[in-house]
Amino acid sequence: MPNYFDADHRQQIETLRQRFTARTEWPTWLLLIGVYGGWFSIIINSQWLGRGLSTLLLIPLLVLWLSVQHELLHGHPTRSVLFNKILGYAPFAVWYPYTLYRDSHLLHHRDEHLTVPGIDPESRYLTASRWQGSSLFERSLHWLNKTVLGRFALGAPLALLALAAEELQRLKKRERQAWLMWLTHGAFSVLMLWFIARFSVLPVWHYLLLISVPALSIAMIRSYYEHRPHVQPEQRTVLNEAGWPWRWLFLNLNFHLVHHDLPGLAWYDLPAAYRMRREQWVARSGGFLVQGYGQLWRQHGFRPIDSPEHPYH
């Protein structure tokens, strides 16, 4: 636990961890059962549900699955890296292999490098040299991606293009781990898509383009303004007091500073940890507080929230 927590705060967090819920992890187990059961149920019953309703049910389910995978890589519901990998390997969301997401995201948790382009793998900022070398078209895309509407419309395609470019370079260099990862992920993805084609009314192209991409686009809203550049690392991470539908889809990751300070704390304990010391968390964040995703939409639906160029790296 971070050394800036006082003794009372440490005891409060430890009390959360010692509860029956945290010791058994039953909420996360229920989520896993619910997502797996829900996905197979919707696919198998899609002829009865219809293509439209099946699509509307699968999109939020895939957003939730991305959030569940995040819990798995942080050690929930078990402490076994291998077993959690098995639990989270299903390619429901298609594009990101679980191990790639896991390894990249854990690098992102080096708070001293948050937002730094080229070091933080989840940074949405560019170095001064790259920004100055960008074309007008590229700059326009980056500015649009700094609006909520732009992030929703362009965030997923831009992220997938960047992923493809980076991973193709690794494959060209014949990196053994990259080849094994993509061959394994590809095999499971083909098997999943065969299952969809065989047992549902959803065409494969429909699942790829009209379900998995929109799900990724919604997930991009969570990361839209999770971090900002700041000299103090603890003031780079947001506290977003979002409403319950978003908290549920994102498994309380809107309390993002709490998660970064306590990455081992499960999703169901983040709200309680935040509420018991709200003023201290807000002070620690340097006032980096957002009153829900609606505030971001009202203020930055069409207006960039900050510059794509990192201010000091």
Q: Average pLDDT over the chain, rounded to whole? A: 95
Instruction: Provide the pLDDT confidence category of residue 13 given band limits of 50, 70 and 90.
Output: confident
Q: Total structural domains in the chain? A: 1
pLDDT the model gives residue 235 = 96
> Tens digit of pLDDT for each residue in 262-278?
999 999 999 999 999 99
Q: Please check whether residue 309 lies inside any domain of the structure.
A: no
Instruction: Provide the pLDDT confidence category of residue 309 given band limits of 50, 70 and 90.
Output: very high
Q: Please check whether residue 313 lies inside any domain of the structure.
A: no
Q: Please check whether residue 2 lies inside any domain of the structure.
A: no
> Tens digit of pLDDT for each residue in 206-235?
999 999 999 999 999 999 999 999 999 999
Residue of 62, 84, 92, 94 lying closest to 186 (CA atoms)? 94
Q: Please check whether residue 307 lies inside any domain of the structure.
A: no
Q: Please check whether residue 296 lies inside any domain of the structure.
A: yes
* pLDDT greater than 80 at residue 191: yes
Can you give the residue range of the structural domain that contains 165?
A: 7-300
* pLDDT greater than 60 at residue 57: yes
Q: Please check whether residue 21 lies inside any domain of the structure.
A: yes
Torsion of CA 253, 257, 262, 266, to 10 degrees: -10
Count, residues in the chain: 313
Q: Please check whether residue 11 lies inside any domain of the structure.
A: yes
pLDDT the model gives residue 1 = 53
pLDDT the model gives residue 2 = 61
Q: Please check whether residue 1 lies inside any domain of the structure.
A: no
